[in-house]
């Protein structure tokens, strides 16, 4: 087995790795570090959880240990799709660079430009950024990218999903062509392939896991659920979620609950809280300090339930999540793999439970096709007669909101009974569907600044993700497919939030 000491990393980096408690390199590290240290381009096909961050940060630190930073000209650049991922890379950098004198700056949205400008002015060795914020700094004339010797693109497939590819291409073109590029993506969609063919030079390609694998240590199940009435679906689903959580008892030490829509993230978090569960939401419309606080609480064990959107939770490294609850079946099968991959990390056991309503059955079938197995059906704990939850009997004449009121056992009533259920009123016609969570893709010709933020909503089922390279019928879809890019419908402000 390869040892870290075989990889040619600097002694100071090896010391930090040793102190981090790592015994041996993961496959992506063993594959990526040696060519990176030789100055070669690397194309790493790996998901989060594989140790890929250290796979690029460790050689970067070793390579940058020689030389010094110059004002406004960072020597290396790491691009991440979301603020949280960028912050996570920065944390990793601090851990691994603690015995060397290198400076870093984190450029993410939601943080004041002034502080970031000050750091850049002094000169930084490593700039960790989201693409939008980096270009904002560049356009304000505060930053030159001509000194970049090493550029890392992390989670490129997510960049594609979020419409950042034009930004990435622009950033590539602002850096010297002599730079070394370390490029990571969980999947190789045709558009990603095109970018790597254009901007990487004879890269060493390392692939560590298939896209559609779900860990064997993750126990999965799905509850097929039909509401008693359409207008009660939302509140009955929340009741079912509580029953599923309760059915796991103490085994559920902490969990991420995924919803497809940001509005549902808020509603589910509020509802769980009202019933006495320790829950908080995370999605892109929340301000950065709140997002950071929530995540820190969840990581630190002071928050038990994180209610999340896909984009906000993507790539988050929370090593010990006992459960993932899919409040909604994700509209894209690959997201199921990413979602449930939050649990069962580092060889631990995990459990993933999902609620499937009739109109999501097609999406469920897509998921089962992708993971190549049937997800075991679980009986609805509310039907089994031994529900662990006290469920008030609901008469047809009652308003749907009534169902979502907490039972006295679950905790004190709030002072002002906020209405948890913003579902449609019974007598009204169907409410228009709230926008789902995902971002639209821009065309390659869209201006670089016309991008969506990390968490902006997009159309879901009606839109194909050109980036995944396949439509549901197995036909290849290259680039953006033939749909009108949804970003055209977004306001300028909505696109520049990151
Ligand atoms: P990543 O895929 O970069 O998000 O890393 C996933 C987790 O694996 C992080 O918590 C790292 O601290 C941890 N990790 C990275 N490399 C190693 C290693 N060689 N041995 C043990 N844990 C590691």
With a 6 A CB cut-off, is 458 part of the ligand 1 pocket? no
CATH number of the domain to which 272 belongs: 3.40.50.300
DSSP class per residue in 18-42: HHTT--S--HHHHHHHHHHHTT--E
Chain centre to alpha carbon of residue 436: 15
Judgement on whether residues 309 and 199 belong to the same structural domain of the protein? no
Q: Which of 207, 232, 256 is the last residue of a domain?
A: 207
Judgement on whether residues 197 and 223 belong to the same structural domain of the protein? no
Burial of 441 (0-12, 13-18, 19+ CB in 10 A): buried
With a 6 A CB cut-off, is 446 part of the ligand 1 pocket? no
Query: What is the model's pLDDT at position 434?
Result: 40
Global confidence as pTM? 0.61
Domain membership of residue 67 (yes or no) is: yes
Residue 25 CA to ligand 1 center (angstroms) comes to: 9
Query: What is the model's pLDDT at position 188?
Result: 84
Distance between first and last Cα of the chain: 42
Residue 26 CA to ligand 1 center (angstroms) comes to: 8
With a 6 A CB cut-off, is 131 part of the ligand 1 pocket? no
With a 6 A CB cut-off, is 53 part of the ligand 1 pocket? yes
With a 6 A CB cut-off, is 317 part of the ligand 1 pocket? yes
Judgement on whether residues 235 and 344 belong to the same structural domain of the protein? yes
Residue 317 CA to ligand 1 center (angstroms) comes to: 9
Domain membership of residue 358 (yes or no) is: yes
Going by their DSSP bridges, the two strands 126-129 and 104-107 should be labelled as parallel
CA pair distance 156, 152, nearest whole angstrom: 10
Judgement on whether residues 151 and 292 belong to the same structural domain of the protein? no
**In terms of residue numbers, what domain contains 87?**
4-207
Query: What is the model's pLDDT at position 365?
Result: 96
With a 6 A CB cut-off, is 51 part of the ligand 1 pocket? yes
Judgement on whether residues 147 and 231 belong to the same structural domain of the protein? no
Please report the atom of ligand 1 found closest to the CA of residue 22.
Answer: 20
- Segment 96-126, tens digit of pLDDT: 999 999 999 999 988 888 889 999 999 999 9
Judgement on whether residues 184 and 285 belong to the same structural domain of the protein? no
Closest-CA residue, ligand 1 atom 18, reads: 22
Query: What is the model's pLDDT at position 48?
Result: 75
CA pair distance 352, 322, nearest whole angstrom: 9
Query: What is the model's pLDDT at position 213?
Result: 54
How many domains does the chain fold into? 2
Full strand arrangement of the beta sheet holding 255-258: 218-224, 350-356, 323-326, 255-258, 305-308, 279-282
Q: Which of 184, 207, 230 is the last residue of a domain?
A: 207
Domain membership of residue 37 (yes or no) is: yes
Residue 420 CA to ligand 1 center (angstroms) comes to: 39
Which residue of 17, 32, 53, 344 sits with most ligand 1 atoms within 8 Å of its CB, as the best mutation to test the pocket? 53
With a 6 A CB cut-off, is 319 part of the ligand 1 pocket? yes
Residues 6+ apart with CB under 8 A from 368: 374, 375
Judgement on whether residues 49 and 97 belong to the same structural domain of the protein? yes
Query: What is the model's pLDDT at position 435?
Result: 39
With a 6 A CB cut-off, is 48 part of the ligand 1 pocket? yes
Residue 357 CA to ligand 1 center (angstroms) comes to: 36
Closest-CA residue, ligand 1 atom 22, reads: 22
**Neighbour count for residue 151 (Cβ, 10 Å):** 24
HEC sequence for 188-254: CCHHHHHHHHHHCCCCEEEECCCCCCCCCCEEEEEEECCCCCHHHHHHHHHHHHHHHHHHHHHHCCC
Low-confidence ranges of the chain (pLDDT < 70): 209-216, 311-315, 317, 319, 345-348, 384-498
Residue 92 CA to ligand 1 center (angstroms) comes to: 9
Please report the atom of ligand 1 found closest to the CA of residue 49.
Answer: 2
b/e 269-279 (16+ beta carbons within 10 angstroms → b): bbbbbbbebeb
- Of the candidates 346, 349, 356, the residue with the CA atom closest to the CA atom of residue 376: 356
Judgement on whether residues 146 and 234 belong to the same structural domain of the protein? no
Query: What is the model's pLDDT at position 330?
Result: 94
Judgement on whether residues 200 and 226 belong to the same structural domain of the protein? no
Closest-CA residue, ligand 1 atom 14, reads: 51
Judgement on whether residues 264 and 229 belong to the same structural domain of the protein? yes
3-class SS shares of the chain: helix, strand, coil, % to 5: 40, 15, 50
With a 6 A CB cut-off, is 85 part of the ligand 1 pocket? no
Lookup: tokens for 21:
């408690």
Helix (H) or strand (E) holding 152: strand 150-153
**Neighbour count for residue 353 (Cβ, 10 Å):** 25
* Residue position matching structure tokens 């549902």: 264
Contact 420, 270 (CB under 8 A): yes
Contact 62, 76 (CB under 8 A): no
Chain centre to alpha carbon of residue 217: 21
Residues 6+ apart with CB under 8 A from 329: 222, 336, 354, 355, 356, 357, 360, 363, 364, 367
Full strand arrangement of the beta sheet holding 126-129: 104-107, 126-129, 76-79, 150-153, 180-185, 42-45, 204-207
With a 6 A CB cut-off, is 113 part of the ligand 1 pocket? no
Query: What is the model's pLDDT at position 372?
Result: 84
Residues 6+ apart with CB under 8 A from 488: none
With a 6 A CB cut-off, is 203 part of the ligand 1 pocket? no
- Of the candidates 153, 146, 143, 144, the residue with the CA atom closest to the CA atom of residue 181: 153
Q: Which of 358, 383, 408 is the last residue of a domain?
A: 383
Query: What is the model's pLDDT at position 488?
Result: 41
């Amino acid at each position: 087995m390869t040892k870290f000491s075989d990889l040619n990393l600097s002694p100071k980096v090896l010391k930090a790795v040793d102190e981090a408690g790592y015994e041996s390199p993961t496959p992506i590290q063993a594959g990526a570090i040696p060519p990176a240290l030789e100055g070669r381009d690397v194309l790493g096909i790996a998901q989060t959880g594989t140790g890929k961050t250290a796979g690029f940060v460790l050689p970067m630190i070793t390579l940058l240990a020689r030389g010094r930073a110059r004002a406004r000209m960072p020597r290396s650049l790491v691009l991440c799709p979301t603020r949280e991922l960028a912050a996570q890379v920065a944390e990793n950098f601090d851990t691994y660079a603690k015995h060397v004198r290198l400076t870093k700056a984190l450029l993410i949205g939601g943080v004041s430009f002034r502080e970031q400008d000050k750091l850049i002015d002094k000169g930084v060795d490593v700039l960790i950024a989201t693409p939008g914020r980096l270009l904002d700094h560049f356009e304000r004339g505060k930053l030159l990218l001509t000194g970049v010797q090493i550029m890392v693109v992390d989670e490129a497939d997510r960049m594609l999903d979020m419409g950042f590819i034009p930004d990435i291409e622009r950033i590539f073109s602002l850096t010297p062509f002599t730079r070394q590029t370390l490029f990571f993506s969980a999947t190789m969609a045709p558009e990603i392939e095109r970018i790597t063919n254009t901007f990487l030079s004879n890269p060493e390609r390392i692939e560590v896991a298939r896209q559609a694998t779900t860990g064997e240590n993750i126990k999965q199940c799905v509850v097929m659920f039909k509401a008693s009435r359409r207008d009660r679906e939302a509140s009955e689903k929340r009741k079912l979620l509580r029953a599923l959580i309760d059915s796991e008892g103490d085994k559920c030490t902490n969990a991420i609950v995924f919803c497809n829509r940001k509005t549902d993230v808020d509603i589910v978090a509020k509802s769980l809280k009202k019933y006495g569960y320790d829950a908080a939401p995370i999605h892109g419309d929340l301000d950065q300090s709140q997002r950071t606080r929530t995540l820190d609480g969840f990581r630190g064990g002071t928050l038990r339930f994180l209610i999340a959107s896909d984009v906000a939770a993507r790539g988050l490294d929370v090593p010990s999540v006992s459960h993932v609850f899919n409040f909604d079946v994700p509209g894209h099968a690959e997201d199921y793999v990413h979602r449930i991959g939050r649990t069962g990390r580092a060889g631990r056991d995990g459990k993933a439970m999902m609620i499937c309503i009739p109109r999501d059955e097609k999406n469920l079938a897509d998921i089962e096709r992708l993971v190549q197995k049937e997800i075991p059906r679980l009986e609805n704990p509310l039907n089994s007669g031994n529900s662990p939850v006290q469920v008030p009997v609901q008469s047809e004449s009652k308003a749907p909101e009534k169902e979502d009121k907490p039972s006295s056992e679950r905790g004190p009533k709030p002072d002002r009974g906020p209405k948890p259920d913003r579902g449609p009123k019974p007598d009204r016609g169907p409410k228009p569907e709230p926008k789902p969570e995902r971002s639209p893709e821009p065309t390659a010709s869209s201006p670089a600044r016309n991008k969506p933020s990390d968490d902006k909503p997009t159309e879901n089922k009606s839109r194909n993700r050109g980036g995944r390279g396949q439509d549901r019928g197995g036909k290849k879809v290259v680039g953006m497919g033939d749909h009108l890019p949804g970003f055209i419908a977004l306001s300028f402000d909505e696109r520049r939030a990151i």
